[in-house]
Amino acid sequence: MSGRRLIVTTLDLPYPPNYGHKVDQFNRWKGFAEAGWKLRLICWKSPIDPEGAPGDLDALRSIFESIEVIPIGHDTGSFLRRLVRLPLYPSHVSARIPDRVTLNRLTAEAKAFAPDAVVNDGIYGGFLGNHLARACGVPAILRGHNVEFRYFAQQSRLARSTKARITTTLARLGLKRWEDRMTRESAWSFQISADDFDYWRGQGVQNLSWAPTVYPGSAHGTLIPATERQFDVGYIGNMRLPNNLAGLIWFVNEVLPILRQLRPGVTLRFAGANPSQEALALFATAPDIVLVPNAPSADEILAQSRVLVNPILSGSGVNVKSIDMLRYDAPIVTTRIGVQGFPADMQDQFVVRDDAAGFAKAIAESLADPVAPAGRAEARAVFGQTGLDAQIAEYQRLLRQG
């Protein structure tokens, strides 16, 4: 079955696919579009977000028939409206509630598009997404990226500045209640993490399934023989979020000194989106790490590394970067957090170490024999075309049921 029509709401523009939810969204919707689905995108942009490249929208136009980017107001009036709405809507949800004129226009456009369903790709556009689903008389489907209230609790604990602590604290107000409502009231919930699936099932939610990040076409990235790769150690991930930054600080300050002793002359290349000033200052203390801010493609970084690392110390959901790393024939060294959300039978694809000495030793040992564990091809197939086809079939089943 092809030709189905979906309206998609999401937090922000899912391009470039250089971290987390953007990788997940871009690849999934690319696969749906290639399978003949007609898609309309609605997302938001804050004035404090980094400016995108001129071609970002063009890169999405082959996937989405139309793209609506709604600006988030940061003036005093917008802030006051968010405060007034806090008893009903969390801050990040409230910021994405359109004004009446915009809401009426989007509703009329949605009815003209005649979707078969509205997909809230994350909970934050849910006010608009659920409104459009009701107006069009179609189901609202949820894509869960984290158990968000847990995630923000972790981010709040890790925040290193007063401003960040205030921001994350405000974001948590009412979040658990909203997330629970979104998950229970959606016609179906596709959870990115097997652990999150277990959490919601434990809360009595039945209308959900595990749906990991998928990549259309080949399940693997560019595969280069280990002897021909340019760098010993590679990493790619957001360099602004507190949990990612905490892991990078641990790696540079505690793991890397030991690794240098075990493997003199080791070469490293780390890439990530929007590195904060703290991240830039951190890497300035480690000149042997080649830093690539805002790499246009994860493939070049990951394909050219003999060993891949994910030094994440906290988080929820599933680390999309760990899924991305599975697409390459390199050993992956990570922490216990780096493998959460994966089924137990996939976790042996990773070398898991939570102490600095063990992490450094695992990297050194992997560099001595930079070969992926047996079963890598079978494990990553779940995240390739096979997995994408399974998710499309799930959508088709839901829409047949009405």
- Write the CATH number for 305: 3.40.50.2000
Q: Which domain holds residue 32?
A: 5-214+385-401
Residue 337 shares a structural domain with residue 394: no
Residue 142: which of 160, 129, 155, 158 has the closest Cα? 129
The rounded average pLDDT for each run of 10 residues, N- to C-terminus, in the chain (402 residues) is: 83 85 92 97 90 87 96 89 90 95 98 98 98 98 93 78 79 94 97 93 96 87 95 93 91 98 98 90 96 87 97 84 93 96 91 98 98 92 91 94 74
| Number of domains the chain contains | 2
Q: Is residue 259 part of a domain?
A: yes
pLDDT for res 1: 42
Q: Please tell me whether residue 191 adopts helix, strand or coil conformation.
A: strand
Residue 394 shares a structural domain with residue 353: no
pLDDT for res 402: 66
**Alpha-carbon torsion angle 172, 92, 318, 354, nearest 10:** -50
Residue 330: which of 301, 290, 293, 358 has the closest Cα? 301
Q: Please tell me whether residue 357 adopts helix, strand or coil conformation.
A: helix
Q: Is residue 221 part of a domain?
A: no
pLDDT for res 241: 83
pLDDT for res 315: 75
Residue 206 shares a structural domain with residue 352: no
pLDDT for res 110: 98
Residue 135 shares a structural domain with residue 90: yes
Residue 247 shares a structural domain with residue 181: no
Residue 156 shares a structural domain with residue 244: no
What residue spans of 4-53 are helical by DSSP H? 20-34
Residue 194 shares a structural domain with residue 268: no
Residue 140 shares a structural domain with residue 235: no
Q: Is residue 347 part of a domain?
A: yes
Q: How far apart are CA 19 and CA 346, in angstroms?
A: 22
Residue 350 shares a structural domain with residue 312: yes
Instruction: Report the DSSP beta bridge partners of residue 234.
Output: 269, 308
Tracing tokens 């659920």 back to the chain, one arrives at: 130
Residue 192 shares a structural domain with residue 239: no
Q: Is residue 36 part of a domain?
A: yes
CA distances (Å), origin 186, targets 145, 180, 183, 222? 15, 10, 6, 38
Residue 157 shares a structural domain with residue 40: yes
Q: Is residue 220 part of a domain?
A: no
Please name the amino acid found at residue 56: D
Residue 153 shares a structural domain with residue 268: no
61 alpha-carbon distance from chain centroid: 21
